[in-house]
Structure 1
Amino acid sequence: MATFRLARRLRAERAENELSDGQLSVLFGLRAAGTHTLGELAERERVSAPSMNRTVNCLEELGYLTRVPDATDKRKANIQLTDAGVAIVKATVTKRDAWLHHQLRALDPADRETLAKAADLMRRLATQ
């Protein structure tokens, strides 16, 4: 439960408060994995294609991403971040990192060591 609460607290640290967690997740996913089709984004986010289309439309209207026709299949569009989309992701990461850094600095060294060990165990669990 503590992991979920910490994740929720970190998600609250964002550069743009008008974006939903789902919208930010799409932006972060595009930043990490590059251009995707609508279907690939829907699969990655585990939502329906119509739902992802609504999300993409909204983010496109806000100027955070754009659709580019596929070079080999003109029926497809590739969705990619705009400069504004990259900027909002970077600003959010910076804000989250600053919050977490501040919180970790307040802990004593023994607690930080315990967290480092726990993080390693959680990483191993997540990859199994």
Structure 2
Amino acid sequence: MSDLTHGDDVAAVNSLRSAVMRLSRRLKHQRVDESLSPTEMSVLGTLSNCGQATPGELARKEHVQPPSMTRIVALLEAKGLVRLEPHPEDRRQKVVTRTEQAEAMLVESRRKRNAFLAGLVEGLDEDEWATLRAAAPVLEKLAQL
């Protein structure tokens, strides 16, 4: 990949950053439970994808410091959205799993956010929608880097 110093590349990166940030803000407003922060919802989503994880693994996946994740997990546990269980191989650690209540909340949250995005997509023409569909895997890859 080039070093992205060409004027068109810099402009494209700037436009992508701006669009992703604006869309992210709009999606964050499509919340099911106002008592949960976006970070708490993200942790529940990560647990939904991976099944279970230690607090340290969650901290790495969410790009936060371990003490912050410990606090987030404690808040989610107090709300009945996660359980802490003994690690099967290392008794010094705990494993975090989501509860059925958390999964139901995630299902409703995804439904609401998907409906919001579907409404936006209806404003695109066929070529724009095809371009966006093709870009989705690339955006997912960027999010995972």
The equivalent residue for 1:4 is: 21
**Stretch deviating more after TM superposition (61-70 or 10-19):** 10-19
Q: Which residue matches 1:84?
A: 101
Question: Which has the higher relative contact order, 1 or 2, with Cα contacts under 8 A spaced 6 or more apart?
Answer: 1
The TM-score normalised by the length of structure 1 is 0.86
From 63, 72, 80, the equivalent of 1:46 is 63
Q: Structure 2: where are the runs of 5+ without partners?
A: 1-17
What is the Cα-based RMSD across aligned positions, in Å? 2.2
- Find the residue that maps to 1:90 and give its secondary structure: helix
Runs of 5+ unmatched residues, structure 1: none
Deviation, structure 1 residue 97? 0.5
For residues 1-128 of structure 1, the aligned pairs below 5 Å read: 1-119=18-136, 122=139
Greater Rg, structure 1 or structure 2? Answer: 2
Aligned partner of 1:113: which letter? A
In 2, the alpha carbon distance for the partners of 1:6 and 1:53 equals 29
Q: 1:97 to 1:44 in 2, by over 3 A?
A: same
Partner AA of 1:99 in structure 2: F
**1:74 match: secondary structure:** coil
Pairs aligned (count): 128
**SS across alignment from 2:83:** strand
CA offsets 1:17-70 (integer angstroms, 9 cap, x no match): 111111111100000112111111112112222111110000001011010112
Return closer, same or farther for 1:77/1:97 CA change in 2, 3 Å cut-off: same
